[in-house]
A and B are shown apart, each in its own frame.
Chain A
Amino acid sequence: MAGVDKCILCGKCRADSALLRVTGKEMLTARGKALLIMKGILDKVFYIDPLNDVTVRSCPTNVEISEEVRKQRERLVENGIETKANRRMIDNIREFGNPYGSLEKKDIKEVYS
């Protein structure tokens, strides 16, 4: 498996990008994220990623984008850049041991992945 420096920007990852299908947005493809990482741009867009390895299948240079995105998320947290949903999920895990909060209430309003 390779890091983003091996990305050749071919765009073959678009074929397996469910996020692209839904949104039409290039920044949500593996190529888009690789470009942002190469440029050193730290943005909340890295929270929008299924963190699966589907796009590696179509990548000619085997860039493991999920691992790269995971590293970017660590950097985001270190820099205090979080989404409200992410913060709430972490707080819930710490307090209740699961991302949804108090399960006894049976009123789950948000589902996280």
Chain B
Amino acid sequence: MSITWFENLVGKENVSDEIVDREVYSTDASQIKGKCDKVVWATEVKHLHQIVLYAKRNKLDLIPRGAGTNLVGSCVPDNSVVIDFSKMNKIIALTSNYVVVEPGVILDDLNSVLRDKFFPIQPEDSSTCTIGGMIGINSSGFYEKKYGRMKDWVLEVEMIDGNGRLKTYDSKVVGKEGILGLITNIKLKITDKIDERSMNVFKYDKLNDVLSKVNELKSNQEVIAIEFINLDAAKLAGLEERYYLIVEYHGFEGGVRDLNEMGRLWHIRKKIFHKLASNSYVYLEDPLIPQENLAEFLYYLETKNIPCYGPIGINVLYPCFSNREEIKELYDTILRLRGVIGSRQGIGLLKKNYLNEVMKEELRNLKEQMDPMHIMNKGKVI
């Protein structure tokens, strides 16, 4: 396909088929390698509209891309045109109860303008993740126990679907990993900033004690986050070799109330993956385990010396691996325990075989309505 058509539309500075660009956009944080035909840096909705219509006429594959930090290959191209939204990063409107943003806005940039307001979906990579990408995987965060996920905070999503129709949708298009269309504008609910916050760190030597405490904390309405670190992860992170629960409260129930000290505790939690990755544990999984099987799963990880951390308060854990081959056995265990593979980091290419049939059917129906020519993120999720 000719680059001239794209250059005439978006300008030479906003499209490239040079080897350096095609190479860096051929993959994402999943490390799966694809083939990028060209890259377009999105700047205007009218351009995106024309690109979708052109792609429809010429049967091109379009890959929307935010930060490219997903772990499942959601942005891996297949002779595709990658649409990078990094330049569509404006905060368009901010009121007392909602904010309107372009999809390339980085979460921390949004956080920095909210002042006395709060957007409660706060994943640990808030300094890199874009709002568009968060919509794509229905992002979660530290505070899911109280505030839910991205779909619970989306009021409107403006999107150009695969038919070339620019429409406004509700949260039904959240979590679809770019297979329905290109998001152009997002309206999110915001809430009042929490002034009364506190934290506790609990340390244990026995897993049973951890589980008892987690059960107690889950029923506490003041608790908004419960994060777990297991023995192997603690050891690799340079912490005392014990089990940890890092807990945040909406209110002053926790013993740590100094904001700087709270920031330090969250920093330790946010750096766990860094510490594991620097010890070669670079592959992260995100299973959801039913409450009744959580203990068995944690004991399984312990037996295998698999470092693990994550939001145990919502029954999600992040076991980490140094080798992808070891993950197959984990999947078998998750399925045996009636858990969900790929519960928080998306499905993409890597986990599509594990998406349940009910969800697949729902997605196929949506795909037929909104992208019948299959020009949006071909081969992902379903």
Contacts and interface: CB of A to CB of B under 8 A. Distances in A.
Interface of A: 8-12, 14-15, 20, 24-27, 31-32, 35-36, 39, 41, 43, 45, 58, 60-62
B86 interface: yes
B283 to A, nearest CB: 9
Contact of B128 (A12, A61, A62): A12
Interface of B: 19-21, 23-25, 27-31, 41, 67-69, 84, 86-87, 89, 104, 108, 125, 127-128, 273-278, 282
Contact of A24 (B28, B87, B273): B87
Given A8-B31, A9-B27, A12-B274, 4 more contacts: A11-B28, A11-B29, A41-B19, A43-B20
A9 B31 contact: yes
Contacts of B276: 60
A35 B24 contact: yes
Q: Is the interface of A mostly helix, strand, loop or mixed?
A: helix
Contacts of B275: 60
Contacts of B25: 26
Contacts, number: 77
B142 to A, nearest CB: 17
B128 A14 contact: yes
A15 B67 CA distance: 10
B37 to A, nearest CB: 15
A8 B27 CA distance: 11
Contacts of A45: 20
Q: Which residue, of B19, B23, B25, B69, has the highest number of chain A Cβ atoms within 10 A? A: B23
6 contacts: A10-B69, A11-B28, A12-B125, A15-B108, A26-B21, A60-B277
Given A11-B69, A15-B127, A60-B278, A36 B23 contact: yes
A60 B27 contact: no
Contact of B67 (A11, A32, A35): A11
Q: Is the interface of B mostly helix, strand, loop or mixed?
A: loop
Contacts of B128: 11-12, 14-15
A58 B127 contact: yes
Contacts of B278: 60-62
Contacts of B104: 24
B273 A60 contact: yes
Nearest to B124: A12
A36 B25 CA distance: 11
A60 B19 CA distance: 27
A6 B83 CA distance: 27
A62 B280 CA distance: 12
Nearest to B104: A24
Contacts of B274: 12, 60
Closest 6 CB pairs of A and B: A60-B277, A24-B86, A15-B127, A60-B274, A11-B69, A24-B87
A26 to B, nearest CB: 5
Residue from B29, B30, B273 having most chain A Cβ neighbours under 10 A: B29
Contact of B20 (A9, A24, A27): A27
Contacts of B277: 8, 10, 60-61
Contact of B24 (A15, A26, A58): A26
A60 B274 CA distance: 4
Given A20-B86, A61-B282, A14 B24 contact: no
Given A15-B128, A41-B19, A61-B278, A10 B24 contact: no
Nearest to B26: A35
B350 to A, nearest CB: 14
Nearest to B39: A26
Q: Which of A10, A45, A58 has the most B CB atoms < 10 Å from its CB?
A: A10
A27 B16 CA distance: 11
A62 to B, nearest CB: 6
Nearest to B42: A24
A41 B20 contact: yes
Nearest to A39: B23
Nearest to B19: A41
A32 B29 CA distance: 11
Nearest to B25: A26
Contact of A25 (B29, B41, B69, B127): B41
